[in-house]
Amino acid sequence: MITDIRLQSFRSYGDAAFDIDSGVNIIVGPNASGKTNLLEAVLLLATGSSYRAKDSEMIGFDKPWARLDAHDDKGSVRTLKLFEAATGRKEFEIHGKTLKRLSFKDSLPVVLFEPNHLLLLTGSPQGRRDYLDDLLEQTEPGFGVLRRQYKRTLAQRNSLLKQPNANPMQLFPWNIRLSELAGQIVRGRLALIETLSTTLGVLYGGLSKTTTGVDIQYITRFNTDNYESQLLQKLESNLALEQLRGFTAYGPHRDDMVILFDGRPASETASRGETRTAVLALKIMELESIAVARANAPLLLLDDVFSELDGARRKALTSYLKNYQTFITTTDADVVLQNFTETCRIIPLGG
């Protein structure tokens, strides 16, 4: 839990500090007033990365560095220092230690909900893969390392595929490594989906007050019992075509997740309201899954999403906020305030 935060040369901030409430914090101001920048600062201190920009883009214009500091409720300080793009350096200071990257144990659990997430069911498969992998990274120690290893291996294989003189023997060790990592990723995703599917229908029914059957399925080209061997075989047999295309066409980076409404894909049959209720259910499950796995309630960041939900869904989401330290950005505080009977902190930002 964060008690205060200071931003120096970060994005639109020169030097600003804010006290943070343990419950709901409403960050209000007109567009371009720095609301999302403040939210992003919280996310960076917690997880070490942004959802919308490179590190170098977060340093104030014409500034050599940026710095973020926050205290938690135990009196500890978390610091992030970003240095100019020429060096590309990023340093964290936590409990007196200097770190280049936040490990699982050094990170704070976070759930981010922003408008693009409302396209989770109907948007590109990449968004659904990221949903699964982001959640696994926060609940399974080691998955973040696995994810980065897979991305590096995939990038290396794709680089070789683009080389005109690459031969099968050069690609063979990368095929094996990619298949091994892919199998681990897929098994992690499948275990997570099995967990989510046991409660998604019940939660959706409670939010929607309907009896619609809701389920999740993982979509892949291969039998998940022997994913590695099937993928390796496909990488080998499809090599000539992939060299022509210049990219790897098979693996977990091409898999998908589908939400089913009474056995039919939500993207084909669900109304806008049904889709948003399902996304809300997934976000609530994300909160609960992380809280259980980390034995620590995650921070909840709502970036201008309250106005995207109707009254019933706002009320449903609000009922879950009391258990989490929450940050809500909005241009209209009244839209948010009418959903709270208890106190909350208003953080006003100017134009």
Q: What are the tens digits of pLDDT across the range 23-37?
A: 999 999 998 899 999
Say which residue the tokens 């839990």 belong to: 1
The number of angstroms, rounded, from the C-alpha of 277 to the middle of its chain's C-alpha atoms is 19
What is the model's pLDDT at position 313? 84
* Whole-number percent of the chain with pLDDT over 70: 98
- Over residues 216-244, the pLDDT tens digits come to 999 999 988 899 999 999 999 999 999 99
Q: How many CB atoms are closer than 10 A to CB 85?
A: 12
Instruction: Measure the CA–CA gap between 221 and 240, rounded to whole angstroms.
Output: 19
Average pLDDT over residues 44-54: 88
CB 28 within 8 A of CB 349: yes
Is the pLDDT at 351 greater than 70? The verdict is: no
Is the pLDDT at 88 greater than 80? The verdict is: no
Please report which confidence band the pLDDT of residue 133 belongs to, taking 50, 70 and 90 as the band edges.
very high
Average pLDDT over residues 283-306: 92
Reference 132, options 140, 102, 320; nearest CA is: 140
* Whole-number percent of the chain with pLDDT over 90: 64
Please report which confidence band the pLDDT of residue 340 belongs to, taking 50, 70 and 90 as the band edges.
confident
Instruction: Measure the CA–CA gap between 226 and 245, rounded to whole angstroms.
Output: 26
What is the model's pLDDT at position 168? 87
Please report which confidence band the pLDDT of residue 56 belongs to, taking 50, 70 and 90 as the band edges.
confident
119-295: CATH class:
mainly alpha
Instruction: Measure the CA–CA gap between 134 and 139, rounded to whole angstroms.
Output: 9
Say which residue the tokens 């967990």 belong to: 195
What is the model's pLDDT at position 234? 96
* Alpha carbon distances (Å) from 207 to 114, 328, 347: 19, 21, 30
Average pLDDT over residues 105-119: 91
CATH number of 1-108+298-351: 3.40.50.300
* Alpha carbon distances (Å) from 244 to 160, 177, 179, 241: 12, 22, 21, 5
State the pTM of this model. Answer: 0.89
Is the pLDDT at 312 greater than 90? The verdict is: no
Please report which confidence band the pLDDT of residue 289 belongs to, taking 50, 70 and 90 as the band edges.
very high
What is the model's pLDDT at position 232? 97
- Over residues 151-193, the pLDDT tens digits come to 999 999 999 999 988 888 999 999 999 999 999 999 999 999 9
Is the pLDDT at 343 greater than 80? The verdict is: no
Say which residue the tokens 């926050």 belong to: 70
Q: Where are the domains of the chain?
A: 1-108+298-351, 119-295
- Over residues 264-280, the pLDDT tens digits come to 998 888 888 889 899 99
